[in-house]
Chain A
């Protein structure tokens, strides 16, 4: 299913923004909020996983129903999961298309990567030290 991805702040994302390696941040930043009817069309229940593929790559998310999101759109909080999909092209403005990236969704049984795993996929090295959370 092709949808338009919107990104932005949520109160939970903001609350855990200084604990990006915590379970709470992982749960919030990897949530894909979509209209319940679109969920039905896609054949997914709340909490099930989808593979999202955008112009920059692909990432696994879990879905949550959200009546306030219009059909054909999804909302993912700003963060490393959404940014795994957003292209870095800015069309001469300096600003990527954070609120208007077309992505494809398909149901999957795959696990959701942690923030550290996503950064490793970008070429980084996971820090596993004592102050991780």
Chain B
């Protein structure tokens, strides 16, 4: 059976035009998807049952026992950390926030180590953004800054920018100018009309230089800034000023390098300068398929997009203090629930070491790096393949991911709801 208009649950593009062939409750073919999508849909490497660590070995257990063990671990903790959430649907994220509140724990999502700094900058100066549809139909200049779209979001260019026709941009490949700013000459840089190769750590200075040039103060710029010639900076600024509609997409090259959230603030303020001349927007290239959703869900329940600490009985937010890496580095949490993420692989070593020290529960369909650190892993259905739910695309548009096949695995919402019910029962609520 062929299913059309399938949504891909891999990256923040949430491409919704895939055609998936299903046979005997298994995905056998994927059309229109990128390499990442094909691996996601066709991969079949699931952990088959919950596993519990006992000494130096592991024992397979049933779901009922797993839920009971998980609830007991969380109830016994003084400060449980509930981490991850970008790889699951909004309904599960919502249960997660309520669970964190009833436990008096901290809930944080993976934006803490991707676009957390972007959120801090947006909280300082706002977000002149737009939907991807606006970019597709209007943008004649597109900037990728610290973002390697071809490898991280392989269809971004073919669905929304360089290689797709828009309502006002008919001959897209020729009509759109693409500028890539990066420290590496990436695959994305290879197809740019203008590649600006930055010396590592100098994005802030280059953004400031561009702001000065756009303001008509090129006289204050020296011959080169951060490894980029002044002549190229002036050329780039002119292209940006001449645009009818420009869009900056930025990636972790800005959020993770020196300056972090201040880089993003400077980029947003460059957009503000450009908007004195023409129309420009700026948007983060969100990585995981529903990391934006975790920000949305956390915000509409607690008021804060990530790093929410309920230990005071109210929602408290202070990135740098209530963020996962800091909590784990300081060894403050005494239990951890990981959902839809792999902190063993993606957080610094010291964080992995603390996860190994404390009881760590993981809800994940696959054996990953965190499995080797965990006390308990509960395999769940994969949202978008054998579970359905709501996800938010990188531009904030909510899209429903479908259930394509029947499964023996419960989904994240079911497992988390069972843990939540048990916790409330024990607390007498």
Residue positions of A touching B, CB distance < 8 A: 4, 6-11, 14-16, 18-21, 56-57, 66-70, 73, 75, 78-80, 83-100, 115-116, 118-120, 122-127, 129-133
- A69 CA / B307 CA spacing, docked (Å): 34
Interface residue B217 (Cβ < 8 Å from any Cβ of A):
no
| Interface residue from A19, A85, A86, A93 paired with B43 (Cβ < 8 Å) | A19
Interface residue B248 (Cβ < 8 Å from any Cβ of A):
no
| Interface residue from B36, B154, B325 paired with A88 (Cβ < 8 Å) | B325
- Nearest residue (CB) in B for A18 is B366
In the bound complex, do residue A122 and residue B326 qualify as a contact, i.e. CB atoms below 8 Å apart? no
Q: Mark out the residues of chain B between 216 and 264 whose CB falls within 8 Å of any chain A CB in the assembled complex.
A: 252-253, 255-258, 260-261
| Interface residue from B116, B150, B352, B370 paired with A95 (Cβ < 8 Å) | B116
Contacts of B112 in A (CB 8 A): 94-95
Query: Do A132 and B200 contact each other (CB < 8 Å), given the known contacts A16-B39, A86-B349, A100-B258?
Result: no
In the bound complex, do residue B184 and residue A75 qualify as a contact, i.e. CB atoms below 8 Å apart? yes
- Smallest beta-carbon distance B33→chain A, Å: 12
Known contacts A8-B253, A67-B185; can you find 4 more A-B pairs with CB under 8 A? A70-B199, A94-B324, A95-B113, A129-B51
Contacts of B367 in A (CB 8 A): 20-21, 127, 129, 131-133
Task: Please give me the 10 A-B residue pairs with the lowest Cβ-Cβ distance, nearest first.
Answer: A94-B323, A123-B356, A68-B185, A119-B372, A92-B320, A88-B329, A88-B350, A124-B373, A88-B348, A9-B152
- Smallest beta-carbon distance A73→chain B, Å: 6
- Smallest beta-carbon distance B128→chain A, Å: 22
Q: Mark out the residues of chain B between 119 and 165 whose CB falls within 8 Å of any chain A CB in the assembled complex.
A: 120, 148, 150-152, 154
Query: Do A96 and B325 contact each other (CB < 8 Å), given the known contacts A119-B372, A127-B367?
Result: yes
| Interface residue from B148, B257, B369 paired with A99 (Cβ < 8 Å) | B257
- Nearest residue (CB) in A for B197 is A70
| Interface residue from A11, A85, A96 paired with B154 (Cβ < 8 Å) | A11
Contacts of B48 in A (CB 8 A): 130-131
| Interface residue from B40, B117, B200, B347 paired with A73 (Cβ < 8 Å) | B200
Contacts of A21 in B (CB 8 A): 367-368
- A84 CA / B345 CA spacing, docked (Å): 9
In the bound complex, do residue B200 and residue A70 qualify as a contact, i.e. CB atoms below 8 Å apart? yes
- Nearest residue (CB) in A for B43 is A18
- Nearest residue (CB) in A for B342 is A20
| Interface residue from B60, B186, B348 paired with A87 (Cβ < 8 Å) | B348
Name 17 interchain pairs, CB-CB below 8 A, sorted by A.
A9-B152, A14-B152, A15-B35, A20-B366, A57-B349, A67-B185, A79-B345, A87-B348, A88-B328, A88-B351, A91-B320, A98-B256, A115-B372, A118-B369, A123-B353, A124-B374, A129-B47
- Smallest beta-carbon distance A64→chain B, Å: 13
Contact bitstring B310-349, A, C-beta under 8 A = 1, else 0:
0000000001100111101100000000000010111111
- A10 CA / B373 CA spacing, docked (Å): 25
In the bound complex, do residue B183 and residue A73 qualify as a contact, i.e. CB atoms below 8 Å apart? yes
In the bound complex, do residue B199 and residue A100 qualify as a contact, i.e. CB atoms below 8 Å apart? no
In the bound complex, do residue A94 and residue B320 qualify as a contact, i.e. CB atoms below 8 Å apart? yes
- Smallest beta-carbon distance A9→chain B, Å: 4
- A83 CA / B373 CA spacing, docked (Å): 15
- Nearest residue (CB) in A for B185 is A68
Interface residue B167 (Cβ < 8 Å from any Cβ of A):
no
Contacts of A124 in B (CB 8 A): 344, 352, 355-356, 372-374
Contacts of B51 in A (CB 8 A): 127, 129
In the bound complex, do residue B368 and residue A20 qualify as a contact, i.e. CB atoms below 8 Å apart? yes
- Nearest residue (CB) in B for A29 is B345
Query: Do A90 and B323 contact each other (CB < 8 Å), given the known contacts A69-B184, A96-B348?
Result: yes
- A16 CA / B93 CA spacing, docked (Å): 25
